[in-house]
Amino acid sequence: MRQREPIRMNNPSASHLCHADQQETLCNISKEDMDLYTFSLHWPRPLLALLVTVLTWQVRLYLHYCSQALMLHALAVPVNRFQLHAHTVELLYQTSLLHTREEMAMVVVGPLTLNAFMLLLVLMAWGCQLAFGSLPSVLSLLVLAQGVWTFLDPLAVFLVDAVLGNLAYSPNTPVGDAAKLYWHFYRTDQSGAAGVVITLLLYTVLSLLSSTILLLYLLRLHNDGRMLDLFQRLTAKEGTYFLPHDLELSNQELSYIVKKAEQWRGSNGERRKVAVCDYTWTEEHPSLTLGPPGAPPREAGSSTHVSVYTLFTSGLRQRHRHFLRHSDGAIVEVIGDLEGAEPEASMEPSSGQRSTNWKEEEGSFPAHLRERKRRKPLLRSRRVEPLGGSGCVSSIALQDLNQ
């Protein structure tokens, strides 16, 4: 039986979104992506978010200042004090021993180290997806928090230094990163305006770099690319993705239902049998077609109706469930009678009778359709005989469905 390939679900939006719909789309994406990183009603979630935030804060802090200490060691500049705290690191050295380019390197080495570490985490997450197919949610949350702190590192360092008073120059206290170039140019040129401009320019470039890495991770890797997938579904044009029917089921599920129906036995000797009917529609008037004269009628479509009946010992037959395979291969369970379905599903199987929802008057439809019904050979039970013309099948029906 021909089956359609399972594709991702269709987007529920129209082909073009207005401004209000775009705002709602971005809001939905933000909620979907930050679900694991926000506080919720479940008690473990706030604790997990708090632990991840504190852990990544410490990692960011120590990587930032340890890279500066290694930079000073590489420049052969003595470090007077290097003391770790939970909120900051005291790194004291003699600033007069550094040239302008070396002081600029001291400003950017901390954020650059964090960006390199974040890039390494992104590559590790990508490798885990290639090797295992998915990234654990806890590790995904850690990488996201580290990326956020990497982007906010210049601002976090500036705020802590401002609270501690490290923006002012003092030989006994360390100078904050945001004020290093200001005091360096003030000491050499008696004006720190150039240092402020250069610091802002450097921080802008670093912010663009860190935001790019974070955006790539959020779109492609975080929660297995859920953010990009959701955005594509909400903004794609109508018809881009396949949308299954409401009651559609797979060929495997239908085979399972048929097998279970054949094995079912009631308390009073009832049994269930399956009837399979094929319907093929052809054009009734060859003169209305575009083909050459005398050509055989062209098939306009076909469908298969699968019915599961309950057979009672008294000879009564009651329909239990029935399914319809459309011409495109979709299998849909039918609720109620077939008259309420679409035209290709509107046939009620009945031997020797043609029934359709289309009018059969001359000229009422441009291409009159004709039904040709073919019933499968039936296998009669030794215990309970089905009524004549019921079309009950078991393994033969399954083999025909799988073709």
Mean pLDDT of 181-209: 92
Range of 265's domain? 248-402
Domain co-membership, 119 together with 147: yes
Q: Decide if pLDDT at 236 tops 90.
A: no
Which has more confidence, 162 or 17? Answer: 162
Query: 140 pLDDT exceeds 80?
Result: yes
Q: Mark whether 101 and 230 lie in a shared domain.
A: yes
- At residue 365, the pLDDT reads 31
Residue 21 to residue 41: CA distance in whole angstroms: 28
Same domain, 192 and 257: no
Which residue did the predictor score with more confidence, 234 or 363? 234
CA atoms of 280 and 251, how far apart (whole Å): 20
| Structural domains counted in the chain | 2
Mean pLDDT of 212-235: 86
Judged against a pLDDT cut of 80, whether residue 36 lies above it is answered with: no
- Is 386 within a domain? yes
Do the domain assignments include residue 156? yes
Domain boundary among 235, 264, 291: 235
Q: Look over the chain and give the mean of its residue pLDDT values, rounded to a whole number.
A: 75
Instruction: Clarify whether residues 231 and 253 are in a common domain.
Output: no
In a domain, 295, yes or no: yes
Quick one: pLDDT band at residue 134, thresholds 50, 70, 90? confident
Whole-number pLDDT of residue 237: 84
Q: Two tokens at 106?
A: 């001291």
- Same structural domain, 185 and 150: yes
Give the pLDDT score at 359: 30
- Alpha carbon 332 to its chain centroid, in Å, reads 25
* Together in a domain, 231 and 252: no
The pLDDT-based confidence of 27 (bands split at 50, 70, 90) is low
Q: Which of 76-85, 260-269, 383-392 has the lowest mean pLDDT?
A: 383-392
Of the given ranges (22-36, 136-150, 297-311), which has the lowest mean pLDDT? 22-36
Separation of alpha carbons 348 and 303, rounded Å? 12
Q: Lowest mean pLDDT of 319-323, 327-331, 357-361, name the range.
A: 357-361
Q: Verify that 351 and 256 share a domain, yes or no.
A: yes
Residues 130 and 203 grouped into a single domain: yes
Q: Is residue 330 part of a domain?
A: yes
Question: Does some domain include residue 286?
Answer: yes
pLDDT of 399 reads 52
pLDDT band at 149 (very low <50, low <70, confident <90, very high): very high
The predicted structure's pLDDT at residue 239: 75
Q: Please indicate, yes or no, whether residues 214 and 258 belong to a single structural domain of this protein.
A: no
pTM above 0.75, yes or no: no
Q: What is the SS3 assignment for the chain?
A: CCCCCCCCCCCCCCCCCCHHHHHHHHHHHHHHHCHHHCCCCCCHHHHHHHHHHHHHHHHHHHHHHHHHHHHHHHCCCCEEEEEECCCCEEEEECHHHCCHHHHHHHHHHHHHHHHHHHHHHHHHHHHHHHHHCCCCHHHHHHHHHHHHHHHHHHHHHHHHHHHHCCCCCCCCCCCCHHHHHHHHHHHHHCCCHHHHHHHHHHHHHHHHHHHHHHHHHHHHCHHHCHHHHHHHHHHCCCCCCCCCCCCEECHHHHHHHHHHHHHCECCCCCEEEEEEEEEEEEECCHHHCCCCCCCCCCEEEEEEEEEEEEECCCCCEEEEEEEEECCCCCEEEECCCHHHCCHHHCCCCCCCCCCCCCCCCCCCCCCCEEEEEEECCCCCCCCCCCCCCCCEECHHHHHHHHC
201 with 81, same domain: the answer is yes
Radius of gyration of the chain from its Cα atoms, rounded to whole angstroms: 36
pLDDT digits (tens, 9 = 90+) for 260-277: 999 999 999 899 999 999
Q: Are residues 216 and 254 in the same domain?
A: no
pLDDT at residue 356 above 50? no
Q: Which residues in 327-343 are b (16+ Cβ under 10 Å) and which e?
A: beebbbbbeeebeebee
Same domain, residue pair 220 and 267: no
Indicate whether 295 pLDDT > 70: no
| Domain finish residue from 235, 256, 282 | 235
The whole-number pLDDT of residue 135 equals: 82
Q: Which of 331-335, 373-377, 385-389 has the largest mean confidence?
A: 331-335
